[in-house]
Amino acid sequence: MIDIVAQMGPVLLGSRFKRLAERLQAGAASIISEAGIPLQPSHIPVMAALDGGPMTIGRLSEETGTRQPGVTRSVGQLVKLGMVVQVAGHDQRERLASLTPAGQAAMARTRQQVWPRIGQAVEGLLAGIAPAPLLDQIAALEAGLASRSLAERVADLPPPRFTIHEFSDELAPLFLSINAEWISAMFTLEATDREVLENPRAAIIAPGGTILFIEAEGLGIIGTCALQQTSPGRFELTKMGVSSAARGLKAGEFLLDVMIERARQMGAQQLYLLTNQKCAAAIHLYEKAGFRHDAAIMAQYGARYQRCNVAMDYPL
């Protein structure tokens, strides 16, 4: 097929840049969506600017190099998404836009998960382009994106390197914060939750259990899980959580495999877990790892949590 935009050379350079930008942004949109972030690529410049503090529309326009009508439109969309709020400034005639807690969380996840991966993918795309005239370089970029989209290039990147850490009193606050985040988001922290999360050494370690933490390269500790010994040879897989800012890295899958192997090393004769139907993604992960739904486990241990309506057993 004839590519009229490319064939016209410098005459349609603006159209060619726009086409190239659309291809890159389509890939970025896919990556942002997979990370569970409810934003579009066009929102990111405004969000990044507001990450530095509240700004007026005029200041945002200067910071992003975007005309004010476009900035006003983006801010309006972000307000509807709950990512931005507008309040009166010192001068009552001016309005300041700032990130909400949800917006701050979205930006943290974007910095940790989206930008590094897109950066690596684009660097790989550019690495194959030798010094050449600008139009030849653009043609090479287009050919590279035609062969593999930006989203496909990100998917091809190796996952972040994970490191497992044993429990220590220094890491104990993370055991509480990581688990309190997901439990409070979906349920209510129960007394049995607080007993374990606030006293992990006494509740888990001392009776013969273990707590592990997972660190992602460049992100720090992002998840944790425990094996609580409930009777000789019987262990409950419990308090497994991964920070919401680390979704999409498959850290939970990696950590679960490590915990199952640790249970074997500890001589576990039975490994079970208790959860709730609302945790559909976690249940799918457990099923994929080999856990089976077990009515006997539910009858024996399910009353421990008010929220428990699913019990599973692993065939050690």
Per-residue pLDDT at 92: 65
Per-residue pLDDT at 68: 93
State the pTM of this model.
0.64
Residue 252 has pLDDT above 90, yes or no: yes
| Mean pLDDT to the nearest integer, 214-223 | 88
User: Please, are residues 31 and 114 in contact by the beta-carbon 8 Å criterion?
Assistant: yes
Residue 160 has pLDDT above 80, yes or no: no
Residue 128 has pLDDT above 80, yes or no: no
Residue 301 has pLDDT above 80, yes or no: yes
Specify the CATH superfamily of domain 162-314: Gcn5-related N-acetyltransferase (GNAT) (3.40.630.30)
Tell me the percentage of the chain whose pLDDT exceeds 90: 66
Per-residue pLDDT at 88: 81
Q: CATH for 4-156?
A: 1.10.10.10
Spatial separation of the C-alpha atoms in residues 200 and 170, rounded to whole Å: 12
User: Please, are residues 120 and 41 in contact by the beta-carbon 8 Å criterion?
Assistant: no
Per-residue pLDDT at 258: 97
**Position with higher pLDDT, 161 vs 268:** 268
Per residue in 20-45, pLDDT (tens digit) is 999 999 999 999 988 888 999 999 99
Per-residue pLDDT at 57: 93
| Mean pLDDT to the nearest integer, 270-291 | 96
Backbone angles phi, psi at 164, to 5 degrees: -100, 135
Residue 162 has pLDDT above 80, yes or no: yes
Residue 293 has pLDDT above 80, yes or no: yes
Edge-to-edge strands, sheet with 292-293: 162-166, 210-216, 220-231, 234-242, 270-275, 310-314, 292-293
Residue 115 has pLDDT above 80, yes or no: yes
Residue 241 has pLDDT above 80, yes or no: yes
Tell me the percentage of the chain whose pLDDT exceeds 70: 99
pLDDT band at 274 (very low <50, low <70, confident <90, very high): very high
User: Please, are residues 140 and 132 in contact by the beta-carbon 8 Å criterion?
Assistant: yes
The two three-digit tokens of residue 69, written as one number:
């009508």
| Mean pLDDT to the nearest integer, 53-57 | 93
Q: Per-domain residue ranges for the chain?
A: 4-156, 162-314
| Mean pLDDT to the nearest integer, 214-236 | 93
Exposure string (b/e) for 51-66, b if CB count within 10 Å is 16 or more?
A: beebbbbebbbebbeb
Spatial separation of the C-alpha atoms in residues 66 and 178, rounded to whole Å: 38
Per residue in 177-203, pLDDT (tens digit) is 999 999 998 999 999 999 999 999 999
Residue 309 has pLDDT above 80, yes or no: yes
Averaged pLDDT score across all residues of the chain: 91
**Position with higher pLDDT, 52 vs 155:** 52
